Amino acid sequence: MILWIRTLTTFGSIVSIGFGVWHFFVPKIWNWYSYIDKSATELILAVRAINIFFSLLLVLLGIANILFVSRKPLDRPSTIIILLISTILWTTRLILQIVYPQGSQNSIIQYSMLGIFVLVWICFSVSLFLVVKNIDKNRSM
């Protein structure tokens, strides 16, 4: 069971780190600031700051997930907290993709994003379930 937890969490974390790194370059790739009036300098700075914060959060959370599940023995309370945070984050992203889909100009992009978000959400939520289930099993013994 620990191997499944580590594998699923590592996969979800690698995807999270990848999204974080990719998002550092998204403003330039998609020319974000061309959509904002040049005189709105505070808005440009705010969008830049939010994107950097978001990108860094994904990278750091992905690294933290890998570090927590790689510990031997597994520190269950800490692992539950970090997996819960990741599950909440990806649940929110998944819901947003369903309600307000991004990439809707191209259905391949839109549904690819949805599929990846579902896959990452499954990785973290199943890992969380397995860690919690393992705790309950240990208490009943």
* pLDDT value for 140: 42
Q: What is the pLDDT along the chain (141 residues), one digit of tens a residue?
A: 899 999 999 999 999 999 999 999 999 998 999 999 999 999 999 999 999 999 999 999 999 999 999 999 999 999 999 999 999 999 999 999 999 999 888 999 999 999 999 999 999 999 999 999 986 565 543
Q: Are 59 and 21 in contact (CB under 8 A)?
A: yes
Q: Are 1 and 134 in contact (CB under 8 A)?
A: yes
* pLDDT value for 1: 86
The H or E element that residue 18 is part of is: helix 2-29
Rounded to 10 degrees, what is the CA torsion of 82, 88, 90, 95? 180
Report d(CA 89, CA 83) in Å as an integer.
Answer: 10
Range of the domain at 127: 2-140
The DSSP code sequence of 85-133 is HHHHHHHHHHHHHHHS-S-TTSHHHHHHHHHHHHHHHHHHHHHHHHHHH
Count structural domains, the chain.
1
CB atoms within 10 A of CB 79: 22
Instruction: Identify whether 73 is preceded by a cis peptide bond (ω within 30 of 0).
Output: yes
* pLDDT value for 93: 97
